[in-house]
Structure 1
Amino acid sequence: MLRVAVVGSGPSGVYAAQTLVQQREVPGVRVDVLDRLPAPYGLVRYGVAPDHEKIKSLQGSLRTVLEDERIRFLGNVEVGGNALPTERLLELYHAVVYCVGAARDRMLGIPGEELTGVHSATAFVSWYSGHPDAAAQTFGLPGVDTAVVVGAGNVAVDVTRILARGTAELTPTDMPQPALGALAESRVRTVSMVARRGPSQGRFTTKELRELGTLPEVDVRADPAELALDPVYGDPAAAAALPAVARRNLEVLRGWAQADPAGRPRRVALRFYLRPVEVLGGPDGRVTGMRFERTAPDGRGGVTGTGVYEDVEAQLVLRSVGYRGVPLAGLPFDPAKGTVPHAAGRVVRAGRASLGEYVAGWIKRGPTGVIGTNRPCAKETVSSLLQDAGALVRRDLPDDPLNALRAAGLRPVRWPGWLAIEAAEAALGRSLGRRSVKIPDWAGLLAAADPDRS
């Protein structure tokens, strides 16, 4: 019997586990899905905005996989630490597939980025999504009138939308009560989402973009002069040659540029061709605004500075300029790419594939694609693993690895523990007059799971 550990219970990890047990080349595969958190689903639980219920419903599909009798969920297990080094994990399983994502955000690399009030969008998303690592975060929202979001992707749109939404629209979601309360006290009236390039180069999807225009009590504006800087904006033939998403995005933005403001109490401004050069602060060390340099198309798909600067007021700055993988102790790491070196999913050490070690998801290919992209990525990795199965199963393993994990001082949360967390979150929601509400802290999650019983 081939025994495999999958590290990470987000989409890439679950798809890898599913592919392993559903294939027919190597019968009798058993998979343990390990996660540092006591809750499964990765970014589907802790990265998808709480008001995106359709995307969050993907948890149902992931749940079906994790309830397969050939798959075992073991949460609250940190791989790479002193209790469970990677080399020890490989002693307990024939193969290990690392699906640990890309958890670190990219920095802007400009003066003033250390000021109070400057945060990553990643941290903000984790906070309002109830990630236990973010439970102690505060964003000073009661003192914020104007916010700037730097970036032009779906995460930037998400955090812009959450900042502009009314509390009544967020109450039906599973947003943790502390985050909901902080947003209820927020005085944010203007959110500027700023991109250094043009509207045709935005990385947001049209569906996400359009959602901004459906927010009650919010005027959405795009500057006609900034849109006109894009070479394709006024050229129907050039626009027709764009990918469909970019064409649709331009039409949405054109509509907002041409519409008259309705005088609603909150405003979202979509700004383009502005490159951040400095975060401005006051004598108290808090952010007061951002300085941008106007950019212009360089004719080669990029932009160049013009020497013209503009200051934008802000008491909160969220950077959303991409993710990077984080090194995992015991695994090789390419700092330039932010990924683990691999060949078709096989981890490469010193130029050679390391038998029994594999990667899938963002730590394999970088933070690209959508949730569905993880499925073919996982299949490629599993295909490599199955090709190696003959050599892998020659190695004898100790008894049930769960015993070894407990002997190392770990307290794994099994599936019944996760179901207990779900039940506790449903009860919490009922007590607050809401639907299920996330428990946002480690102590609360582990108390609900009771690992000793799970």
Structure 2
Amino acid sequence: MQKMGILGGRRWLSRGFSSNPLRVCVVGSGPAGFYTAEKMLKTHQQAQVDIIDRLPSPFGLVRSGVAPDHPETKIVINQFSKVAQHERCSFLGNVTLGSSISLSELRELYHVVVLAYGAESDRSLGIPGENLKGIHSAREFVWWYNGHPDGRNLEPDLKSTDTAVILGQGNVALDVARVLLRPTTELATTDIANHALAALEESSIRVVYLVGRRGPAQTACTAKELREILGIHNVDILIQESDLLLTPVDEEELKSNRIKRRVHELLSKAATSKPKHASLNQRELHFVFFRKPDSFQESEDRANHVSGVHFEKTVLKGVSPGKQIAVGAGEFEDIKCGYYLIEEIIYNYQDSWMVLKSIGYKSVPVDGLPFDHKKGIVPNDRGRVLSDTSDPSVLEKGLYVCGWLKRGPSGIIATNLYCAEETVSSISEDLEKGGLISSSAMPKPGRDGLLQLLHDRNVRTVSFSDWEKIDSEERRLGSSRNKPREKLTTWDELYKTTSQ
């Protein structure tokens, strides 16, 4: 006999629970979400885990963030697929937290809700001219070339200028620069989106500037990423050798950080290498340090288009042992974008150009979720969501976070593994204390309740078997073009394929 329950005025059907299994919902199907699901399934043998995502496709930034010429990084998808195919796990795509279902409703349906939906917005510089045409966030550009359905219509102008300026020097900034500079013949055999490949084949971009607030001793990229971009064929690397001079504080900072020390060594070596100028197709990559944007300048010839950046020079100021921040030096300069650098001014014979802001991703809060807007994270204690940041003992029962939403947008894919282990450990401790589930408590509807509610709201869910149809079609399309896959890049294409 089926039991009936009430959830927010709606009825749900269960399958005659003989016990009270642990119902877990993970919001977000990127690395943080999948590692959390995997750890929960291994640690708690009776747990039923549902992973929901607003996209029809799983894997988050592994699919839409990892550069197309880094296929080895995407191998982790095989591991995540096994998690999704586990008998006690399910994937439900096209389910958006906040519109398809609210956070409060999820907390009624499940004993445990883990938010791992990452950071899908961008930090703002907050300076004049930031909304001019030709300025994009690196996230938007990455989504565009990786075939994210929300990035399909970006259409960056790669023809009107020979130069792109990237604000930031982290791994994402280097990814973007590499895609702009790498020969398209090499990109053509990756899973780069077809519309992006076509645009890059016609691109006029020949010069890329990577501009950072701090110096080479503080560069945020990894040695692996830097080594790769320095090795691109037919690209001259230009660095002012004076920028590479180290202060005693810099030397102390490098002494305790092997990665940054290696990065500085690579930059120093590149700075002393002579430009190749081997062909007419020669391209240039400039590293510019100790500059922060003060305002963007509008083109005189193209209304509402960016044509330059007003920069303030910076100096480093120690704030704690081994840490220096960039502060304005009160000296300004107008940097124009173009082929050559004379006396610290980049000149351009064209009056429009492209700027990509790679200054960090930003998480977005939802109704009912405590949020630290300054840090851009959910206040938490080892993954437990705090109701009150001033009192760590006041917790949101059954609500947890993992990944960028928990610690901020930093780290590599493997960082999420350790992050998930910590959050699952906190969940386990709370379960042992009896704070989440008890034998006398009414069973939670979990997946059945969620599916019923979504059905009532006419929300079309995408299962993992539906995703496998998308995966199969993308691989089929790619095989005819010597690519691992040809991504479906519009919502309509994705939906249509799941219906076949």
TM over 0.5: yes
Q: Percent identity?
A: 42
Q: Does 1:361 align with 2:425?
A: no
User: Quick one: distance in 1 between partners of 2:359 and 2:256?
Assistant: 23
Please state whether the residue corresponding to 2:414 is helix, strand or coil: helix
Which residue of the other structure, out of 197, 208, 223, is the alignment partner of 2:225?
208
Specify whether residues 48 and 407 from structure 1 end up closer, same or farther in structure 2 by C-alpha distance, changes over 3 A only: same
User: Quick one: distance in 2 between partners of 1:182 and 1:427?
Assistant: 23
Scaled by the length of structure 2, what TM-score is found?
Answer: 0.85
Q: Which stretch of structure 1 is more off in the superposition, 305-314 or 373-382? A: 305-314
Q: Does 1:403 align with 2:461?
A: no
Give, as a single letter, the amino acid of the residue that structure 2 aligns with 1:21. L
Match of 2:263 in 1: 249
Instruction: Answer whether contact 2:234 2:276 (CA < 8 A) is retained.
Output: no
Match of 1:16 in 2: 36
Match of 2:16 in 1: none
Instruction: Answer whether contact 2:123 2:360 (CA < 8 A) is retained.
Output: yes
User: Quick one: distance in 1 between partners of 2:421 and 2:315?
Assistant: 42
Please state whether the residue corresponding to 1:358 is helix, strand or coil: strand
User: Quick one: distance in 2 between partners of 1:433 and 1:376?
Assistant: 36
Instruction: Answer whether contact 1:195 1:273 (CA < 8 A) is retained.
Output: yes
Instruction: Answer whether contact 1:94 1:395 (CA < 8 A) is retained.
Output: no
Q: Does 1:69 align with 2:87?
A: yes
Match of 1:443 in 2: 492
Q: Does 1:414 align with 2:466?
A: no
- The alpha carbon displacement at 1:392 in A equals 2.9
| Higher-Rg member (1/2) | 2
Q: Does 1:268 align with 2:300?
A: no
Match of 1:302 in 2: 325
Give, as a single letter, the amino acid of the residue that structure 1 aligns with 2:407. R
Specify whether residues 410 and 308 from structure 1 end up closer, same or farther in structure 2 by C-alpha distance, changes over 3 A only: closer
Which residue of the other structure, out of 146, 164, 171, is the alignment partner of 1:147?
164
Question: Alpha-carbon deviations, 1:275-324, whole Å to 9, x = none?
Answer: 21121221311111222222233465233415142413160000111122
- The alpha carbon displacement at 1:368 in A equals 2.4
Match of 1:311 in 2: 335
- 1:83-98 superposed matches below 5 A: 83-98=100-115
Give, as a single letter, the amino acid of the residue that structure 2 aligns with 1:72. S
Q: Does 1:231 align with 2:229?
A: no
Give, as a single letter, the amino acid of the residue that structure 2 aligns with 1:11. P
Instruction: Answer whether contact 2:27 2:116 (CA < 8 A) is retained.
Output: yes
Scaled by the length of structure 1, what TM-score is found?
Answer: 0.93
Please state whether the residue corresponding to 1:134 is helix, strand or coil: coil
Q: Does 1:259 align with 2:264?
A: no
Give, as a single letter, the amino acid of the residue that structure 1 aligns with 2:29. S
User: Quick one: distance in 2 between partners of 1:27 and 1:58?
Assistant: 23
User: Quick one: distance in 1 between partners of 2:470 and 2:104?
Assistant: 31
Please state whether the residue corresponding to 1:192 is helix, strand or coil: strand
Q: Which stretch of structure 1 is more off in the superposition, 403-412 or 356-365? A: 403-412
User: Quick one: distance in 2 between partners of 1:321 and 1:212?
Assistant: 19
Aligned-residue Cα RMSD (Å) equals 2.0
Equivalenced residue count is 445
Match of 2:478 in 1: 429
Instruction: Answer whether contact 1:146 1:189 (CA < 8 A) is retained.
Output: yes
User: Quick one: distance in 2 between partners of 1:433 and 1:319?
Assistant: 32
Instruction: Answer whether contact 1:150 1:317 (CA < 8 A) is retained.
Output: yes
Gapped regions of structure 2 (runs ≥ 5): 1-20, 338-351
Please state whether the residue corresponding to 1:267 is helix, strand or coil: strand
